[in-house]
Structure formats: structure tokens, C-alpha cells
Amino acid sequence: MAAVAVTMVRRLLRSGPRPGLCGAGGREPGAAPRRAIGHGRVAVELDSSAGVAVMKMENLPVNSLSLDFLTEFLISLEKLENDRGCRGVILTSGAPKIFSAGLDIMEMYRKSTEHYAEFWKTVQEMWLRLYQSNMVTIAAINGSSPAGGCLMAMCCDYRIMAENPKYSIGLNETQLGIVAPFWFKDTMVNTIGNRATERSLELGLLYSPPEAHKIGLVDQLVPEEKIQSTAAAVMSQWLAIPDHARQITKSMMRKPTVDRLLAHRESDIQNFVSFITKDAIQKSLHMYMEMLKQRRG
Amino acid sequence: MAAVAVTMVRRLLRSGPRPGLCGAGGREPGAAPRRAIGHGRVAVELDSSAGVAVMKMENLPVNSLSLDFLTEFLISLEKLENDRGCRGVILTSGAPKIFSAGLDIMEMYRKSTEHYAEFWKTVQEMWLRLYQSNMVTIAAINGSSPAGGCLMAMCCDYRIMAENPKYSIGLNETQLGIVAPFWFKDTMVNTIGNRATERSLELGLLYSPPEAHKIGLVDQLVPEEKIQSTAAAVMSQWLAIPDHARQITKSMMRKPTVDRLLAHRESDIQNFVSFITKDAIQKSLHMYMEMLKQRRG
Amino acid sequence: MAAVAVTMVRRLLRSGPRPGLCGAGGREPGAAPRRAIGHGRVAVELDSSAGVAVMKMENLPVNSLSLDFLTEFLISLEKLENDRGCRGVILTSGAPKIFSAGLDIMEMYRKSTEHYAEFWKTVQEMWLRLYQSNMVTIAAINGSSPAGGCLMAMCCDYRIMAENPKYSIGLNETQLGIVAPFWFKDTMVNTIGNRATERSLELGLLYSPPEAHKIGLVDQLVPEEKIQSTAAAVMSQWLAIPDHARQITKSMMRKPTVDRLLAHRESDIQNFVSFITKDAIQKSLHMYMEMLKQRRG
């Protein structure tokens, strides 16, 4: 864990100073109740009077979970986690039409073994921190949310999705010829049960908002323009519960799943590295990227 | 386990003899087919011809699960369990508008460490006996059923609830700033699945009858006046199954959950004692009781 | 495992050669795209162009899972499993009105201890092979499917049932005074969740097609005449997913359940043998068979 933290700090320094990330937290007396923190790719706005932060992902165009972005996300999350003035986080997107496109394929293509390992450890870290957050976490899913984007949403305590028929959500890894790791699977089983997960993962299904709602992958659908206000209203319902009791309860529910990854964290990294370095996988990622290029072109 | 039994007998003797508890069981030849047993706070009526007992909780006003009441409940249950003439039990309430209000807060407030430990061991014992009963157990939920009352209902093989909109059911511990123990949680996960449990427990949700039915927390809703006749009709459906096969099946389904408590029974008691003796918890229980007093006044 | 294989080959030889079972597989160049394989009680038709086989159970009148039939089934399945030209299997029935009546009671009645053990090992083997098949497996349930028939259907990746109100499906063992083994239970829990399984198994419930669909025991209902075409259409959806990613995902979902039987395989056989040799069980099977005789007469 220490190694991961060191890696992150090192990466952050490498990317140069980000003014918004300094001076964060709720420690300064007399600060205005609503403050913007983190002007990078994770825009954080903390409403100190409500004790609620909005984390808006802005890694344009599609909020790909690159190593740099995940690192910034983790630092922002940790700042809020350590800020006594922040009890809840609304996770949403600043990119149009997409919540997050999931793991950045560029991080898995033609890189070094060390890079793959560092990337995967950071993906694990994102899941560990978000799934176990002591804060109330609400996903305001205002766009499509495949693969890693769906994972982020599933890590939250509550999921609200915009009922736009163009959006979809799901763990679609098999459609790309890759496999969701066991802790993605565990998180989905905890959310929608074993059978729906089995079918979802084997077919790499992406669900429309009504389908996602029906199987319990999201908790609530709202018109797109109401998603932020609904998230705020739901948040106040969750904050009515004493933090301590809610946190112990959340930990009781999620700790066994977390412990499973912690017990196999290194082998999971090795699995990822040995899978992603396979010729066949690199080839299929290449084809996938060519296809994306043509679409854009 | 022996210690618990001794404790119970001691407690019972301390509360003085209860005529209804003597001479129970179905052993006397020529006994009338319907006999009243237990004139205390658990009224038991056994229909020997059907092999079905109705256990009516009458610890007025709200069937609080006090140490004395739980002890009496356990003795009544054990008598029926050992009675070959009794194959099924309908658990219901003789109190108006409430099935059971759950654990008696008075047992958790300003008592000795020894008292807390004895109380908690008895709560565990209630769960162990009811959840593993060899008899068919049907809850006829004719009133609200928060916290420990909901647990009792979930221990049964089948749950029928009166569709009175004033009633509610759920594990609402976090609303009081306390935490449902892991075996409450396990029982709820076994009943309504992981995700619905997570949300229920974190928010301390109390469900209306239609909501409870929708998430599977109760199996059937009926008009209040039909709850006892429905319970009897459902019971005969369950009793059509050979006891031996049904009992082995029930044990197969529930034993892993039971074993989890048995493996951690002592530490669970220690957890409870160290939690409930905390100043903050005693204080919040005090405030809760003051609020109740004001409501009544 | 080796012992089982030897046993099977021995049994097959004992039943004499079956021309359809020889020359199977998709290895011969220039073979017609659609070939019939296995003219015994398991009619296999492989469409090489689609890479899909239809396995039609034809152990008339009710596709009882006898030792001989299971052995033949296993050999047919293994041939397809090893055939690179076959990526998916549709499992269906050639018997009118019934998918499979489940385990053949004759194999459990007045036989030797050795016979019981051999039979049970083969039932286990059927489950192990079908539940873990690398192929896409779709059950086209064109008739009633109690007990072992329901198990076979649950082993598949997807279940389509004819919406004929005369058909039913479920694990009804307790209705006969016997108990579904733990891996039947595990398979059902994986399919419909813990609570629905508990109720199903304790009551030995057989569900109508709409009920089975509602609780998720089957995935889709279709008019009887469309069941084969629907199965073929669904199969092509599944085959659109790269085999390798789908297979790893399937294994990830099912391996823990499989490992549980593998860890207790011998004791499970001993349990079965000691249960089935009980006088009371033999007597109740006798009565059940007399009842069946009278119905037929």
C-alpha cells in the first residue's frame, strides 16, 4: 500500500503542480461555504454547509481512466476522505453524453510490463478507496458507463441514471475479447446477484437505463436535467443517518469482498500483466483501436 | 450452550412459577385437541389434531424483547420443539398494532456488563433456536415489526403480513445510531439478497407492507382480518411435505449461516458489550428514551 | 475421475456398439454441414457451418436419467466438447411433453451398494461436465422438467421454456420424501438466489412456465412451436462473443461451486448410498412406484 501511495505522489509531481489541488480541504477558517477544489481533470466543488462534495470527472472527451486521471481522482478522493467537513460525495461527469468510458486502452497497449503493473495497481486502488469510502457516495450517471465506468458507479452507495435512451451501462469486457477481473465480478454480484451477473458478464451486456433499473444495476432513473438535484436530495436522506453507524454497517457489508482482493492483489496484477502482454490480446486491442479511429474519421 | 440453558432455567425460577408452562407438551393421552399452554407473556395454543401451535406474543404494550420475555419465549419454543404432536408454529402478536418492537432498550441502558452479556447471549439463543427450528415456522405479522421484531419474522419459513398501511417492517438500527450485528445482516441477505440488504441496513429502512412484499422481505400480504386463517392454510401446505426431507433441506440452507455465529459467538457478545457501554451510545439511547417519553406524554 | 471414465467406457461397451457414436466430430474434410451423430438415446445433430449442435434426449417415454442414458449423454457431450467445429449446444427433448423426468428411480431401488455408488458418481459427472462446458449451452425446455431434469436445465447458460400451461419445472425432491444434494441446491441458489431456493426446496415446488420465468428459473418463454428457432437465434447472440473471453468468465462464475463438489465428492457419494439404502426410503420409493403403476394402469 505504501508503495502505491509513493507511486502516486511521484506521478503527481511528474505531471507538475496543479494549483487547484493545493490548499484543498476544509481547514481554513472563514472560507466560503462553496469552494472549488481541483481544477485539473477532477473538478471538486465542496458545499461546506451541507458537507457534500461534487466530484466532476473532466478527462475529455470520454473520461477514460488513464493512469494520470486515476491518480488525480485518488488524490482528490483522499483529500475529501480526510476532510471532516465532507460527509458525502456525488460522483458525476463533466463530459457530454458519457459518465466514463472505462479503463484507458492506451495504458494497455504497447507499454512495458512495469507500466502495466503500475496501471493495474492504480485501478485496484481506485476500487479499494471508492468501494470502502467512509463518505456517502452517490453516482449521478449522466452518460454512458461501460466497463470501468460501470465499476465506478457500482462502487457507490446509490446510483441515479439519466433516462436518456442513448445511454447504456454494463461490464462489456467480453465484447472486446477481454475478461472482467474477479473483483469487478464480485462487485456486480453484490449489486445485481449471481445469475444476472453471469449473463451480463458472459455476453458483455450493456443495458439501457430502463433495463439497468429493472435488474437493479441502477437504483433510480430521472430526466437528465434533474439528475444533480435528485442526487442532492437523495444525499440528504443518506446524511440523516448517523455517520458512525452507517460506516460500520457499510464496512460489514463490503469488507469480505475487499478482503478477497487484498488477499490476491499481487497475483491479480500478475494475471493482468500476463494476459495483456499476450500477442492475441495486443492484436485485438490494435484492431479495436483501428475501428475507433475509422469511426471518428 | 449449557451455560445458557442453566441461565434460562435460573431466570425462569427467579420470575416465579407460571402454571401454564407446566404440564405442557402433547404427552397426556386423551387430552383435548386444542390446549392452551403458557399463560404468561407467550400464549401458546396447540391444535393437536392439526399438529400446529399458535405462539402469541403478549408482552404488552409492544412486545419488547426483554430478557425475561425472551427467556419465556425460548422455553415455550423448546417445549413445542420437543413435542412430537407439534409440527408447525404460527408466530403472531397479541398486542395491538405491533408484532414486536424489537430488543428492549431498557436491557441496554445503565446495566452491568454481566447483564449486557447475559442479555445478548439470550438474543443469540433466540435466533439460533428460531432460525433452526425443526418445525415449520410461519410469521403472521399483524403489526409493525422493526429491528429485532423483523429479525424474528425473518427467522421463520414464511412471512404473511397484514396489508395495513400504518404497519412497517425492517432493520432500522442505524436510525438509532446503532448497528445490526453480522448475523442479523446474514439473515437479511439470505432473505432479500445482498444489495437490498446493504441499502436497508445503511439507511435503517422501514418498509410499508407493499414495499416489503416487493423486495421479498415478506412473502404474502393479506387483509388484517384474514391473517390467521391464511397462516393456517399456508401451514397445511407446508405440512404436506414429509418432515424429515423438509428438515434436512432447511438445515442444508441455513447451517452455514448458523455456523458463522457459533464460530464467533463469544466475540459477538464482547463486541456488543463494548459497543453498548460506550458513553456516546448510552447518551444516544438516553435521548431516544426521552423522546419516547415525550411522545407518550 | 479416471475411474469414472473407465467405468463409462466399460458400460458403453457392455451396451454394445452404437454406430452413430463412431465417426463423430467435425474432423473429416468435405463433410456435409449438417450431420447426425449418436443414433442411440441421445440424438446429436451438428450444424458445422454454424458450429452448433442440437442434443435431443430420446430415452422414451420420459427421458429418465438412468445410468446407461447418462453414460451415453456424457460420451456425446464429450465428443462435442472435443470437436473444434462445435461451439454451442442446444439441449432439448425428443420425448413428447417432457424435457426430462429426472433421475431414474429404478437405479435407486433394490440395487447393490456398488450400483448406487456408480450411479451417483455418474450423476455428479453429468453435472460437472454440463455445468462447466466450454461450449455455449442453451436448454430448449419443451416439456416438464422436474428434479434432475430441472438440474440439467439449470446447468445451461440460458433457458428457454415452451409456455405450455401443462408443463412445470422445479426441484421437487422433498415431495417424494428425498432431499436434493447440496450441489443441486448450490446450482439453484446461483440461478434464482437464496430465498427463492429455500422455499422451492423445502416445499418441493414445481413452477408453471410463467412462475418459473418470474423467479428467474427460466430466462425466456416462447410458444412451443418457436422454441427451436428461438434457441438457434439466442445461440447466435452468444456465439458473437469471443469464445476465450466467455469461457474464462464462465469458469470464474462457476468454479467455486464446482470446487465445492470436487472437495466433497466421495462423502457426497457415501451420503447418497447410506440415505438411499435406508428401509424407510426404499419403502417410500416402493410406494411411489406403485402409485405410478396404478396411474398408468
Q: How far B217 CA sits from the closest chain C CA (Å)? A: 10
C103 included as an active-site residue: yes
Q: How far A232 CA sits from the closest chain B CA (Å)? A: 16
Going from the C-alpha of C146 to that of each of A174, A210, C123, C170, the distances in angstroms are 33, 34, 15, 5
Q: Does C157 touch chain A (CB under 8 A)?
A: yes
ipTM over 0.85: yes
Chains with 3 or more CB pairs under 8 A to chain B: A, C
Chain B residues with CB inside 8 Å of C195's CB?
190-193, 216
Q: Does B238 touch chain C (CB under 8 A)?
A: yes
d(CA A125, CA A261): 10
Residue in C20, C24, C10 with CA at minimum distance from that of residue C68? C10
Q: How far B258 CA sits from the closest chain C CA (Å)? A: 15
Which pLDDT score, from 0 to 100, does residue C100 have?
Answer: 98
Chain A (187-216) residues lying within 8 Å, Cβ to Cβ, of chain C: 193-195, 197-199, 201-204
What the block records as the C-alpha cell of C141 is 425446455
Helix (H) or strand (E) holding B236, with range, is: helix B227-239
Q: Does B171 touch chain A (CB under 8 A)?
A: no
Half-sphere exposure (CA, 13 Å, Cβ side) for B219? 21
Query: Is there a contact between A178 and C246 if contact means CB atoms under 8 Å apart?
Result: no
Q: How confident is the model at residue A295 (pLDDT cuts 50, 70, 90)?
A: confident
Residue in A75, A101, A116 with CA at minimum distance from that of residue A282? A116
Least confident piece of the model among B27-31, B93-97, B230-234, C73-77: B27-31
Query: Is there a contact between A174 and C242 if contact means CB atoms under 8 Å apart?
Result: yes
Q: Which residues contact A220 (CB under 8 A, 6 or more apart)?
A: A158, A159, A160, A161, A213, A230, A234
Q: Does B69 touch chain C (CB under 8 A)?
A: no
What one-character DSSP code corresponds to residue B64? E
What b/e sequence results for C134-158 when a residue is b if at least 16 CB atoms lie within 10 Å of its CB, and e otherwise?
bbbbbbbbbbbbbbbbbbbbbbbbb
Query: Is there a contact between A190 and B202 if contact means CB atoms under 8 Å apart?
Result: no
Q: Work out the average pLDDT over A20-44.
A: 55
Q: Work out the average pLDDT over B201-211.
A: 98
Residue with cell 454497517: A249
Query: Is there a contact between A179 and C249 if contact means CB atoms under 8 Å apart?
Result: yes
Which pLDDT score, from 0 to 100, does residue C38 have?
Answer: 57
Given A190, A192, A245, which is nearest B179 (Cβ)? A245
Q: How confident is the model at residue B110 (pLDDT cuts 50, 70, 90)?
A: very high
Chain C residues with CB inside 8 Å of A174's CB?
241-242, 245-246, 249
Q: Say whether B46 sits in a helix, a strand or coil.
A: strand
Chain B residues with CB inside 8 Å of A250's CB?
198, 202
What one-character DSSP code corresponds to residue B43? E
> From the first residue on, what is the mean pLDDT of each consecutive set of 10 residues in chain C (297 residues)?
33 34 35 61 96 98 97 98 97 98 95 98 98 98 98 98 98 93 98 98 98 98 98 98 96 98 98 94 87 79
Given C176, C177, C201, which is nearest B253 (Cβ)? C201
Give a three-class secondary structure readout of chain C. CHHHHHHHHHHHHHCCCCHHHCCCCCCCCCCCCEEEECCCCEEEEEECCCCEEEEEECCCCCCEECHHHHHHHHHHHHHHHCCCCCCEEEEEECCCCECCCEECHHHHCCCCHHHHHHHHHHHHHHHHHHHCCCCEEEEEECCEEEHHHHHHHHHCCEEEEECCCCCCEECCHHHHCCCCCHHHHHHHHHHHCHHHHHHHHHHCCCECHHHHHHHCCCCEEECHHHHHHHHHHHHHHHHCCCHHHHHHHHHHHHHHHHHHHHHCHHHHHHHHHHHHCCHHHHHHHHHHHHHHHHHHC
Residue with cell 437479511: B188
Q: Does C114 touch chain B (CB under 8 A)?
A: no
Q: Which residues contact C45 (CB under 8 A, 6 or more apart)?
A: C34, C35, C36, C37, C53, C54, C56
Asked if B151 contacts B181 with a C-beta cutoff of 8 angstroms, the reply is: no
Model confidence over B40-79: pLDDT tens digits?
A: 899 999 999 999 999 999 999 999 999 999 999 999 999 9
Chains with 3 or more CB pairs under 8 A to chain A: B, C
For residue A100, the Cα-to-chain-centroid distance in whole angstroms is 8
Q: Does A248 touch chain B (CB under 8 A)?
A: yes
Half-sphere exposure (CA, 13 Å, Cβ side) for B85? 20
Please identify every residue of A annotated as catalytic: 103, 148, 172-173
Q: Does B248 touch chain C (CB under 8 A)?
A: yes
Residue with cell 492506451: A106
Model confidence over B122-168: pLDDT tens digits?
A: 999 999 999 999 999 999 999 999 999 999 999 999 999 999 999 99
- The Cβ of residue C166 has, within 10 Å, a number of other Cβ atoms equal to 10
d(CA C180, CA C127): 13
A-C C-beta contacts closer than 8 Å: 59
Q: Does A175 touch chain C (CB under 8 A)?
A: yes
Chain B residues with CB inside 8 Å of C199's CB?
157-158, 219
What the block records as the C-alpha cell of C263 is 472437495
> What percentage of chain B reaches a pLDDT higher than 70?
87
Residue in C152, C149, C8 with CA at minimum distance from that of residue C75? C8
Considering chain A, what is the average pLDDT of its residues?
Answer: 89
**Catalytic hit among C148, C149, C170, C204:** C148
Which pLDDT score, from 0 to 100, does residue B14 have?
Answer: 36
Identity of the amino acid at A101: A
B173 included as an active-site residue: yes
Peptide bond into A61 cis (omega under 30): yes
d(CA A47, CA A53): 6
Give a three-class secondary structure readout of chain A. CHHHHHHHHHHHHHCCCCHHHCCCCCCCCCCCCEEEECCCCEEEEEECCCCEEEEEECCCCCCEECHHHHHHHHHHHHHHHCCCCCCEEEEEECCCCECCCEECHHHHCCCCHHHHHHHHHHHHHHHHHHHCCCCEEEEEECCEEECHHHHHHHHCCEEEEECCCCCCEECCHHHHCCCCCHHHHHHHHHHHCHHHHHHHHHHCCCECHHHHHHCCCCCEEECHHHHHHHHHHHHHHHHCCCHHHHHHHHHHHHHHHHHHHHHCHHHHHHHHHHHHCCHHHHHHHHHHHHHHHHHHC
Query: Is there a contact between B179 and A219 if contact means CB atoms under 8 Å apart?
Result: no
Q: Is the pLDDT of residue A15 over 60?
A: no
Residue in B64, B58, B67, B59 with CA at minimum distance from that of residue B7? B67
Helix (H) or strand (E) holding B202, with range, is: helix B194-203
Q: Work out the average pLDDT over A207-212.
A: 98
Query: Is there a contact between B194 and A253 if contact means CB atoms under 8 Å apart?
Result: yes
Model confidence over A162-203: pLDDT tens digits?
A: 999 999 999 999 998 889 999 999 999 999 999 999 999 999
Which domains are seen in chain B, by residue range? 2-14+31-224+237-296 (3.90.226.10)
- Which has the higher per-residue pLDDT, C211 or B39? C211
Q: Say whether B215 sits in a helix, a strand or coil.
A: coil
Asked if C127 contacts C183 with a C-beta cutoff of 8 angstroms, the reply is: yes
Query: Is there a contact between C202 and B248 if contact means CB atoms under 8 Å apart?
Result: no
Q: Does A174 touch chain C (CB under 8 A)?
A: yes
Which pLDDT score, from 0 to 100, does residue B123 have?
Answer: 98
B182-192 and B194-203 are packed helices; what angle lies between their axes, rounded to 10 degrees? 130
Q: Is the pLDDT of residue A263 over 70?
A: yes
Identity of the amino acid at B271: N
Given A179, A182, A197, which is nearest C245 (Cβ)? A179
Q: Does B288 touch chain A (CB under 8 A)?
A: no
To test the contact with chain C by mutation, choose from A198, A260, A272 the residue with the greatest count of C C-beta atoms within 10 A, namely A198
Chain C residues with CB inside 8 Å of B237's CB?
203
Max CA distance (Å), chain C? 58
Query: Is there a contact between B203 and A237 if contact means CB atoms under 8 Å apart?
Result: yes
Least confident piece of the model among A131-140, A237-246, B275-284, C75-84: B275-284
Q: How far C245 CA sits from the closest chain A CA (Å)? A: 5
User: What are residue B47's DSSP bridge partners?
Assistant: B34, B52
Asked if B88 contacts B133 with a C-beta cutoff of 8 angstroms, the reply is: no
Residue with cell 456408480: C118
Phi, psi of B88 (to 5 degrees): -145, 150
**Catalytic hit among B74, B77, B80, B103:** B103
Going from the C-alpha of C89 to that of each of A172, C44, C195, C230, the distances in angstroms are 23, 9, 31, 13
* Number of H-type helices and E-type strands within chain B: 11, 11
Max CA distance (Å), chain B? 58
Q: Is the pLDDT of residue B3 over 50?
A: no
**Catalytic hit among B72, B107, B118, B173:** B173
| Mode of pairing for the β-strands spanning A42-47 and A34-37 | antiparallel
d(CA A44, CA A90): 10
Q: Does A242 touch chain B (CB under 8 A)?
A: yes
Q: Does B56 touch chain C (CB under 8 A)?
A: no
Q: Say whether B38 sits in a helix, a strand or coil.
A: coil
d(CA B80, CA B66): 21
Which pLDDT score, from 0 to 100, does residue A16 have?
Answer: 34
Q: How confident is the model at residue B37 (pLDDT cuts 50, 70, 90)?
A: low
Q: Which residues contact C263 (CB under 8 A, 6 or more apart)?
A: none
d(CA C139, CA C149): 11
